[in-house]
Amino acid sequence: MTLKAILIYLRASMWFVPLLVVGAAILLAYSCLAIDNASTADFARHYPQPFAGGADSIRVMLASIATSMVTVSGITFSLTISSLAQVSGQLTVRVIRNFTSHITSKLVLGFFVGLFVYCVIVMRTIRIKEDPAGPFVPALSAWVAMVLAIIGIGVVVYFIHYIARAVQASTVVSSVTREALAVLDKLYPDPLPADSSELVSSLPAPANGQVLQTVESRSYGYVQLIDETKLRQFALTNQLALRVDAATGDYVTLGSSLVSIIGLPQTVGSAIVKAINGAFIIRQTRAVDEEIAFGIRQLVDIGLKALSGASDDTTTAILTLDNLSTVLVKLVQRQLLPTTGTAYFVPKHPSFASLMAGAMDQLRDTAGGNTVILTRLLYLLMVVGRQTRNPGRRAVLLRHTRLIADQASATLHTDYQRNLVQQQLSETLIAFGEEKEPTPH
């Protein structure tokens, strides 16, 4: 497993950050105790206000803090679970991963559990006068526990505020959009020139005596990460032509083709199967970290949920379309596929046409009869279209514009509705340099 795959897994986990915080609390406890043991200063005598207290009073205080931290940790966990349930029911279950990836709830949970562990460690070191080893009151350690408990009150208040905002549709949609934009910048940083066309690469035809062989998957699930550098090096080293058949985000079953190879002098053996499978990270869920299509998919799912008969929430659907336009505006300007090909390695990346189909098709079909959403979809395409002069990209956007016009013609029943859509349709077509378009009827 590569370092990148481990980081993706840890980022989505709920246990890793709290575990780090607990480890920091243990280190803090033993550091404070070491200072208490090594110090010859009488903290209680020199600083009576913060450090005063005998062994019994400090033990009671630490026990009270530890008990309250267990209670607050349970409340924190309950609030997190209830928020996940509410967000998944109101929007879509796909955004749960985004919620669990946020560090705030993990830090809060880790803070309370860590403070509990800190108090337990310090409390066990307290000795009274009758103890054979002599009395020991860790004044500094107890003072730190008291300060952390006071900070904990502020943490509780902030967490309630955070949860109240986290379940709002605007917060969730904005979070998904920010993550999609970050992934887009990471995966596709290069702009697409206005006069260039992207290349859909393919394997060369097998020469005499060569056969096309496939390497099958040894596991099942969604492809989260592909080590293309490793695959490219494998093709170069063995002088092969290699095509990736399973892209990031694809679901593979046992025996599904991961790559196709031409030029291998022998039958694909177990060593090659192991090496190729090692370049693919396959898990049971998709992750947006290496797949822009899943970021778009999450926004589409939120919009579909809002437009469903059970929700009928046009406001949330408009919010989703506005944020989706932000992602598509950046997407339309980026180079997704190579402009020059190689004969030995053919990766599988999403095209602009496939990403636009994923963004528009289901929303357009679900929006039938909804004048507001159909108009907003046309406005979205106009906004995106103004950001590119590339003929290929504009052709894709124009095709979706006409599909929305067809949907409006088939599902709108009054002249008033048709006129509203026609007005926006005319503006969108003008943005694409189109003069006329049939009026929806």
SS3 assignment, position 160: helix
Same domain as 283, residue 303: no
Same domain as 303, residue 279: no
Amino acid at 183: V
Same domain as 161, residue 14: yes
Same domain as 315, residue 216: no
Length of the chain equals 441
Q: Is 356 part of a structural domain of the chain?
A: yes
Q: Is 308 part of a structural domain of the chain?
A: yes
Shortest CA distance to 263 belongs to which of 241, 237, 234, 230?
Answer: 241
Same domain as 324, residue 276: no
88 Cβ contact partners less than 8 Å away, ≥ 6 residues apart? 95, 96
- What is the Cβ-side half-sphere exposure of residue 424, based on CA atoms within 13 angstroms? 22
Rounded CA separation 141/36 (Å): 7
Report the domain count for the chain.
3
Amino acid at 304: L
Q: Is 77 part of a structural domain of the chain?
A: yes
Q: DSSP letter for 261, please.
A: E
Same domain as 230, residue 107: no
Pair type for strands 221-226 and 251-252: antiparallel
pLDDT of residue 126: 87
- Give me the sign of the Cα torsion angle 95, 296, 351, 181: negative
pLDDT of residue 148: 95
Same domain as 333, residue 263: no
Please identify which residue in the block is written with the tokens 């290069």. 190
Q: Measured in whole angstroms, how far is the alpha carbon of residue 312 from the centre of its chain? A: 26
Choosing from 273, 288, 303, the residue where a domain stops is 288
Rounded CA separation 125/122 (Å): 6
Rounded CA separation 400/378 (Å): 9
pLDDT of residue 197: 72
Q: Is 415 part of a structural domain of the chain?
A: yes
Amino acid at 237: T
pTM: 0.82
pLDDT string in tens for the chain (441-residue length) = 577 778 877 877 888 999 999 999 999 999 999 988 887 555 555 555 455 557 788 888 899 999 999 898 888 888 878 877 777 777 776 667 666 677 888 899 899 999 999 999 999 888 877 777 667 888 889 989 999 999 999 999 998 888 888 778 888 899 899 999 999 999 999 998 877 776 666 777 777 777 888 999 999 999 999 998 899 898 888 888 899 999 999 999 999 999 999 888 778 888 899 999 999 999 988 888 889 999 999 999 999 999 987 778 899 999 999 999 999 999 999 998 765 556 678 888 899 999 999 999 999 999 999 999 999 999 999 999 999 989 999 999 999 999 999 999 999 989 999 999 999 999 999 988 775 544 554
Q: Is 204 part of a structural domain of the chain?
A: no
Where residue 264 sits, what CATH number does that domain have? 3.90.1170.30
Amino acid at 112: F
Torsion of CA 223, 227, 233, 234, to 10 degrees: -30
Tell me which residue range forms the domain holding 397: 295-341+349-431
* In contact, 30 and 121? CB cutoff 8 Å: yes
φ and ψ of 259, to 5 deg: -140, 160
pLDDT of residue 44: 53
pLDDT of residue 26: 96
Q: Is 408 part of a structural domain of the chain?
A: yes
Same domain as 238, residue 158: no
Instruction: For residue 352, give both structure tokens.
Output: 């602009």
pLDDT of residue 438: 47
Same domain as 404, residue 276: no
pLDDT of residue 139: 83
* In contact, 411 and 375? CB cutoff 8 Å: no
Strand partners, 346: 243
* In contact, 82 and 164? CB cutoff 8 Å: no
249 to each of 114, 226, 297, 370, 425, how far by Cα in Å?
37, 10, 11, 31, 34
Q: Is 281 part of a structural domain of the chain?
A: yes
Q: Is 202 part of a structural domain of the chain?
A: no
pLDDT of residue 251: 95
Same domain as 355, residue 241: no
Q: DSSP letter for 38, please.
A: H
DSSP collapsed to 3 states, 181-247: HHHHHHHCCCECCCCCCCCCCCCCCCCCCCCEEEEECCCCEEEEEECHHHHHHHHHHHCCEEEECCC
Same domain as 84, residue 21: yes
Same domain as 130, residue 86: yes
Choosing from 113, 144, 167, the residue where a domain stops is 167
Amino acid at 343: A
Instruction: For residue 91, give both structure tokens.
Output: 């929007």
Pair type for strands 212-216 and 257-262: antiparallel
pLDDT of residue 182: 93
* In contact, 51 and 44? CB cutoff 8 Å: yes
